[in-house]
Amino acid sequence: MSSESPMIDILGKPVKRIGVIGSGQIGPDIALHFSKVFSPAGVPVVVVDISEDALERGRSKLNKKVDRGVESGAFRSEQGEKMKNGVVFTSDYSQLAGCDLVVEAATEDKALKGKIFSQVQELVAEDAVLCSNSSHLEPEVIFHGISNPGRTMVVHYFFPAERNPIVEIVPGKETNGELTHDMMGFYEAIGKIPIKVGSRYGYAIDPVFEGMFLAAALLVEEGVASSREVDQVACDVLDYPVGPFTAMNLTGGNPITAVGLDNYNEKIHSWYRTPEILRKAVADETAWEVPARGEKVEVPEETFAAVRDALLGAYFGIVGEIVDSGISNVADMDMAVETALDVKAPFRLMNSLGMEESLALAKKYADGHPGFPVPKCLADQASTGTPFPIPLVLREDHGSIAHVIVRRPRHLNALNNEAFLQIENHFKEISGDPAIDGVLLTGFGVKAFVSGADVGFLAKIDSAKMGEETSSGSQASVQAIEDCPKPVICAMNGLAFGGGNEIAMACDVRIARAGLKVFVGQPEVNLGIIPGAGGTQRLPRWVGVEKAAELMRTGRPISSAEALAIGLISEEVPGDPRALRRRATELLHGAIRGEAPFKGIESGPLQTPDELAEADLGHLSTEVDRILRRAIVEGCRLPLKEGIAMEARFFGEVCATQDMRIGVTNFLENGPRTPAKFVNA
């Protein structure tokens, strides 16, 4: 967000001043993230604490993190200075006056939090949003007695708050529903991944973190394994970056975990409790015995199996109970647990093990641990004999407009086979839904609409036949968008490469966030392949054969401004993704009313030259270019659907080349910045 960009707003009111209360472990990190986003627009962040020592430590912590970011190249030097200068550390609560958003990050004490908000509500405007970064307390408890509870909610950050993208948005019973929805969009706009969670003590993610520590502690308490062994198995089986005991040592989390587990016992179920070894560790202020950095602990096979089964059974039971409770859902839990806690996604892990085995592990754990419930959602899914459906593409209906949202933020919304299939199913259902008049297709976040196809699934292609089948499958999903009888607009919230641009081109109209310097590209030639989801045929029909051929043959990305100039998009929209979606909705309603109907794509043959103009291929494969030129020229001379079918055959042909194997392997091993060494360059 530059100083020329519109300010980020909440319910239409620009955020011009932000308050953070608490300069302890997490407050300065919250302030750091706000400053990163808002300092370019000159929005001050005020950190308030009654302790001058805490303020000084917080200031020092923030400055050191910014300086490290400058040294690593994450921030430019001038950006770093703006970030540091944009945060005010003060003990003067009156500095919160004029704040549009206040996030409290004080000690986890309901009396203290209540006292803070009683004071803050007198300092800020009636419509200022008041949030608590509580890790456990229900919003109804924190904001009890507040004069306007409709503007309050919990916004729970995860360590480290400036980098961990997950935030839990927890509205209370009296929180304004429109505000809750807009705060989800606000946090998306500032680069976080918000999930909405029902109000229950501990919310959705901490019971997983603390529950898995309890499971680990019980293994030690019961004499099954040592803390060092449990940490090693947790890393091996669940991909913990460090084991649960090491994590407790690093975060100093023993005291708050002990309090949380005792409260879970009352508020969730009786398995949760503070084990005796944790009580002793808190009382003695002792650290856990854990593996040294980089040490590989050898665990006997029988011990490893016992710990593995217990950790998996507990994991599946804990996440399943949270879904059973209704405070969250499979899609959010799978994404948020993996991202916030940096462990294997629980429901995908169950799917990979199989429903019967996953259920058996949960039952085995429950049999040995009184009070531990076997999740109904897991038992029900196992009874179907099919894996958990895990939405990667979400559908949200807003009146008569269906929003279809690609949400794979860890992968920049890249499309795998399942995502393609979910897009297809959504559009087929929408096509037959009489309650829906129009469709808005977009991506989650501010970085990418869809960054392309997941290269991992391209690497599995081992023949021309499999290549053609893969292309045809992707084309069918994209065709479902184009075949939708209702107006479809693509709100391109970020970059759209490869398959991302291909699904966008199947929409009737495309609009984009303004000012995207790197926006659209068909970079397939860098991988030694050609577009395979209709790109060789739709791009020429939107921007002309000559321009389309140049972009596809060189893989050159273009800005949103150039996309507008060549006719690929119809409009650039200033602001964040919410502004883009609002504008898309306006255009859809205009089309539905018949005031400005969407024209859609030309479906007939195109006038196409026998030979395309020369292109600077650089290091790219001449063999891949030959196949691509044939796909463009021969395909565009046919009606659109026939040209797309021809594209699939050419995609199969390119998948049989040595250069395809070189390009895909190079990408997976060296990343996109390292040019492949094609044999036909």
The predicted model gives 296-304 an average pLDDT of 97
- pLDDT on residue 1: 41
pLDDT band at 4 (very low <50, low <70, confident <90, very high): very low
Instruction: For residue 309, give every residue at least 6 positions away whose Cβ sits within 8 Å of its Cβ, in sequence order, or none.
Output: 361, 364, 365
* 438 three-class SS: strand
- pLDDT on residue 372: 98
Q: How many CB atoms lie within 10 A of CB 120?
A: 21
- pLDDT on residue 371: 96
* d(C-alpha 6, C-alpha 565), whole Å: 23
- Confidence check: pLDDT of 196 > 50: yes
The predicted model gives 302-322 an average pLDDT of 98
The predicted model gives 9-38 an average pLDDT of 96
- pLDDT on residue 251: 83
Q: In CATH, what number does 393-670 get? A: 3.90.226.10
CATH superfamily of this structure's domain 9-196? NAD(P)-binding Rossmann-like Domain (3.40.50.720)
Q: Which tens digit of pLDDT belongs to each residue from 463-514? A: 999 999 999 999 999 999 999 999 999 999 999 999 999 999 999 999 999 9
The predicted model gives 552-561 an average pLDDT of 97
pLDDT band at 122 (very low <50, low <70, confident <90, very high): very high
Q: Mean pLDDT lowest for which of 1-5, 57-61, 368-372, 638-642?
A: 1-5
pLDDT band at 6 (very low <50, low <70, confident <90, very high): low
Q: In CATH, what number does 206-384 get? A: 1.10.1040.50
pLDDT band at 253 (very low <50, low <70, confident <90, very high): confident
> 294 exposed, middle or buried (CB, 10 Å; 0-12, 13-18, 19+)?
exposed
- For the stretch 604-621, what's the b/e string if a residue is b when 16 or more beta carbons lie within 10 angstroms of its beta carbon? eebebeeebeebebeebb
The two beta strands, 9-10 and 520-521, are unpaired
- Confidence check: pLDDT of 543 > 70: yes
- Confidence check: pLDDT of 2 > 50: no
pLDDT above 70: percentage of residues in the chain: 99
Residue-level length of the chain: 681
- Confidence check: pLDDT of 3 > 50: no
Catalytic residues: 502, 524
Average pLDDT, the chain: 96
> 12 exposed, middle or buried (CB, 10 Å; 0-12, 13-18, 19+)?
exposed
Backbone angles phi, psi at 208, to 5 degrees: -75, -50
pLDDT band at 383 (very low <50, low <70, confident <90, very high): very high
Residue with tokens 């394994």: 225
Domain boundaries along the sequence of the chain: 9-196, 206-384, 393-670
- pLDDT on residue 603: 94
The two beta strands, 13-14 and 87-90, are unpaired
Asked whether 55 and 23 are in contact (CB, 8 A), the reply is yes
pTM of the shown model: 0.94
The predicted model gives 543-570 an average pLDDT of 97
Asked whether 561 and 500 are in contact (CB, 8 A), the reply is no
* 265 three-class SS: helix
